[in-house]
Amino acid sequence: MNDSKANLIQLSTDRLGDLGPIASAPAHKELEAVVQSVRKRTGPGSEYFGWLDLPKRRGEEFERMLECAKTLRSDVEFLVVVGIGGSYLGTRAILDAMEPALDSQDGPIVLFAGHHLEPSSYKRLLDNLEGTEVAVNVISKSGTTTEPALAFRLLKAKLEDMYGAKKARTRIVATTDASRGALRTLAEEEGYETFVVPDDVGGRFSVLSPVGLFPLAVAGVDIEGLLTGAAAEADRCHTAKIMDMPAARYAAARYDLYQRGMQIEVWASFFPSLHMVSEWWKQLFGESEGKEQGGLFPASVSYTTDLHSMGQYMQQGRRHMLETFVDVANPMPGPSVEATSADLDGLNYLAGRSVADINRVALEAVAQAHEDGGVPNMTVTLPYINPPSLGSLMFFFEYAAAVSGRLLGVNPFDQPGVEAYKANLFKLLGKPGA
Ligand code: PA5
């Protein structure tokens, strides 16, 4: 097995209870046609298939990103990433997952803004940046979303106040549409370094574009590794038979469970460092499928802590959900239990076992109990928490969302509901022309 294959995602569907034989059937009658429509880039939303190419897209802009990231890594202590939804969640997901590995590296600390409107949080951010060396990466595909636009206005003023207008311009990088929107106009007027959110890539599918790659490179994440892992998963999705294609099998299983009355899909992981990946996943599936009064509601829990809050509901509450465990085959190393002579806490029976081993047993125990309690569950396993495996995981879910949305009969690539709130907010705030 070569290195790129070592990071491919595995899917296990052997805990679907009574639904198993049908839900996991690889020969689902519509699946082949749907997968072909994604491979051939046909059907509703076909103008948004650019994400399929991102794992292998390089060129001048990629080199410029690496160069600019290198400069900022040596010049600044903080990078503030300003964005919301698809313009922020993927970056945060990978950074949170990679935090233990990045801890040991020099380089800027990444902070996030523009994904909320809490006043005190902005005050603290601006106060804490005083006197520091900071850069801002403002990311907005439309260039007009209220939350990031507002946060950027505050941060731009702060940078100009601290450094003067000329130097502030060298500390601002804008990632936006190639030609449209207020942010593009502003960036060109001010002469910022800019990167492009490709026209053919929607926000929630953009993590492997400059939207995610640039801030991740500034943080010191191996973005080549991320893309290599995604490319391996992309190759499999482009060429494998359905039976050998976990992304399609996952999409089919959740679709069948939805057809059988499940209303909620719960992402459950025993790795809290993946919590923000679950937030990214919620946007991916929520925005791709929550249309025409349908779609599974994507929810998430973080175990084992949530076994002591949501565990009761999961075991005995209303039976309208499936659970998708997201497991890590080879977690980063941690401590083991040592025997003590008195054994006052009664834990000597665990002596010699690692926390990783105990965590795995906990997953087994919960998955079995939940299946017995009437919650069909599957397990998606990533080999490691590292850039190639995370790249592979994200491409896996993107492909699955495209296939799954198509099975549901909706356009998986638009988000008219999100636009509705944005337009209303403009109107209520009195934006001219709204
Ligand atoms: O998926 C989407 O398109 C949205 O959730 C966007 O990511 C979010 O609204 C941010 O939009 P923009 O990047 O245009 O500021």
Q: What is the pLDDT of residue 321?
A: 97
Report whether pLDDT(152) > 90.
yes
Strand partners, 30: none
Q: What's the pTM value of the predicted model, to 2 decimals?
A: 0.96
Q: Has residue 100 been placed in a domain?
A: yes
Residues 206 and 297 in one domain: no
**In this structure, are 206 and 116 located in the same domain?**
yes
In this structure, are 355 and 394 located in the same domain?
A: yes
Q: Is 84 in the pocket of ligand 1 (CB under 6 A)?
A: yes
Residue 379's pLDDT band (cuts 50, 70, 90): very high
pLDDT tens readout for residues 299-309: 999 999 999 99
Portion of the chain with pLDDT greater than 70, in percent: 96
pLDDT at 26 over 50: no
- Give the tens place of pLDDT for each residue, 240-269: 998 889 999 999 999 989 998 999 999 999
pLDDT in tens, 163-186: 999 999 999 999 999 999 999 999
- pLDDT, residue 304, reads 97
Cβ(203) – ligand 1 distance below 6 Å: yes
Please tell me the predicted confidence (pLDDT) of residue 347.
97
> Is 385 among the domain residues?
yes
Query: Is 24 within a domain?
Result: yes
Which active-site residues does the annotation give? 287, 308, 422
Question: Of 184, 199, 223, which closes a domain?
Answer: 223
pLDDT digits (tens, 9 = 90+) for 105-133: 778 999 999 999 999 999 999 999 999 99
Tell me what pLDDT residue 27 has: 53
Check if the beta carbon of residue 102 is closer than 8 Å to that of residue 289. Answer: no
**184 CB within 6 A, ligand 1:** no
Residues 210 and 64 in one domain: yes
Stretch 202-216: mean pLDDT: 97
Strand order through the sheet with 297-302: 10-15, 377-382, 321-328, 264-269, 297-302
Q: Confidence band (pLDDT; 50, 70, 90) for 21?
A: low
What CATH number is given to the structural domain containing 148?
A: 3.40.50.10490
Q: For residue 359, report the distance from its CA to the centre of ligand 1, in Å.
A: 36
In a shared domain, residues 256 and 401: yes
149 pLDDT more than 60? yes
Range(s) of the domain holding residue 81: 51-223
Whether the CB of 418 sits within 6 Å of ligand 1: yes
* Ligand 1 mutation target, pool 87, 147, 204, 426, most atoms within 8 A of CB: 87
Task: Give residue-wise pLDDT tens across range 325-365.
Answer: 999 999 998 999 999 999 999 999 999 999 999 999 999 99
Query: Is 373 a domain residue?
Result: yes
pLDDT at 140: 97
In the reported structure, the alpha carbon of residue 418 is separated from the centroid of ligand 1 by a whole-number distance in angstroms of: 8
Using the mean position of ligand 1's atoms as its centre, give its distance from the Cα of residue 339 in Å.
52
Instruction: Give the list of residues 6+ apart from residue 419 with CB closer than 8 angstroms, or none.
Output: none
Ligand 1 center–CA 87 separation, angstroms: 6
Same domain, residue pair 102 and 210? yes
CA of 227 to the centre of ligand 1 (A): 22
Quick check: is 416 in a domain?
no
User: 207, 223, 239: which is the final residue of a domain?
Assistant: 223
Backbone torsions φ then ψ of 319, nearest 5 degrees:
-90, 75
Determine if ligand 1 sits within 6 Å of the CB of residue 286: no
Angle among Cα 319, 322, 327 to the nearest 5 degrees reads 140
Q: How many domains does the chain have?
A: 2
* CA pair distance 149, 115, nearest whole angstrom: 10
Cα separation, 186 vs 163, in Å, equals 19
Residue 210 CB less than 6 A away from ligand 1:
no
| Measured distance CA(1)–CA(232) in Å, rounded | 12
Going by alpha carbons, the residue nearest to atom 9 of ligand 1 is 85
Between 176 and 100, the more confident residue is 176
Q: Residue 418: inside a domain, yes or no? A: no
Q: Which residue, judged by its Cα, is nearest atom 15 of ligand 1?
A: 140
Is the domain of 280 the same as that of 141?
Answer: no
Check whether residue 350 and residue 240 sit in a common domain: yes
Nearest CA to ligand 1 atom 8: 85
Q: Last residue of a domain, which of 223, 240, 268?
A: 223
Same domain, residue pair 184 and 270 = no
Residue 135 falls inside a structural domain: yes
Q: Which of 48, 51, 82, 84 to mutate to test the pocket of ligand 1 (most atoms within 8 A of CB)?
A: 84
Given a cut of 60, whether residue 227 has pLDDT beyond it is yes
Is residue 167 assigned to a domain?
yes
Find out whether the beta carbon of 176 lies less than 6 Å from any atom of ligand 1.
no
Q: Return the higher-pLDDT residue of 317 and 1.
A: 317
Do 216 and 233 lie in one domain? The reply is: no
The closest residue, in CA terms, to atom 12 on ligand 1 is 140
Ligand 1 centre distance from Cα of residue 86 (Å):
5
Within this chain, do residues 172 and 238 fall inside the same structural domain, yes or no?
no
Mean pLDDT of 220-227: 96
- Give, using CA atoms, the residue closest to atom 5 of ligand 1: 85
Query: Quick one: DSSP state of residue 382?
Result: E
Question: Based on the domain organization, do 25 and 150 belong to the same domain?
Answer: no
Specify whether the CB–CB gap between 207 and 367 falls below 8 A.
Answer: no
